[in-house]
Homo-oligomer: A and B are copies of this chain.
Amino acid sequence: MTDRPFHHGNLRAVLLEEAEAVLRQDGVDGLSLRDLARRAGVSHGAPRSHFADRQALLDALAERGFARLTTTVQRALAHDEPLRAQFDRVAHAYVDFAVDDAALMELMFQAKTAAASAAVGEAATRLFGTLDAAMGPADPDDGTGARERFTLLFAASMQGIAALVASGRVPRARADALVDDAMEAMLTSDLGARAVTRH
């Protein structure tokens, strides 16, 4: 009791870590500032020094989520493999992330969060940029925006598969096959051929 210093020194980081654990277990509804303060052993007003309100904490969680997903995707791209294998790897990593951290993923792609925080928006942009880079250098002669359209299509497909699986509407066992079907359709399409310049 008395040996705890007045200044926690680490409170912000501890709150975020505890919040991520709670998020995984009980979802966003289970997330309470007062409960987090209790877990960290500080008074209920203490979090206010690090997060203006509950939404600010949620924004910070979403931002960290985008950062973590981005490094996950980057790691998946770091393997020296044929292009198709890399796409598959990225797609599966993306879906796994979304299923394992479903509540966090919801937070990341909520209209409310998107509108509120610029930092979250930038973190999201970095993720999409990473996906874009996976396709190799852009073809400057293409006037149809094939590259950008393909990135969106890729992101949308994974997002949709992740949503259906995370929500339980599609069994997790079918996720991998669904990802493969989506990759096959996208990569063999005209748009895919025009967008992907790396071979």
Min CB gap A159→B, angstroms:
4
* A49 lies within 8 A of chain B by Cβ: no
Number of copies of chain A assembled together: 2
- Please give me the residue from chain B that is nearest to A115 by CB atom: B168
* A152 lies within 8 A of chain B by Cβ: yes
Min CB gap A30→B, angstroms:
10
Q: Is A184 a contact of B178 with CB atoms below 8 Å?
A: no
A158, A169, A177, A192 — most chain B CB neighbours (10 Å):
A169
Please list the residues of chain A having a beta carbon within 8 angstroms of any beta carbon in chain B. 27, 29, 102-103, 106, 109-115, 124, 128, 149-150, 152-153, 155-164, 166-170, 174, 177-178, 181-182, 184-186, 188-192
Chain B residues with CB below 8 A from A163, complex form: 109, 156, 159-160, 163
Q: How far apart are the CA atoms of A153 and B184 in the complex, in Å?
A: 11
Chain B residues with CB below 8 A from A156, complex form: 157, 160-161, 163-164, 170, 178, 182
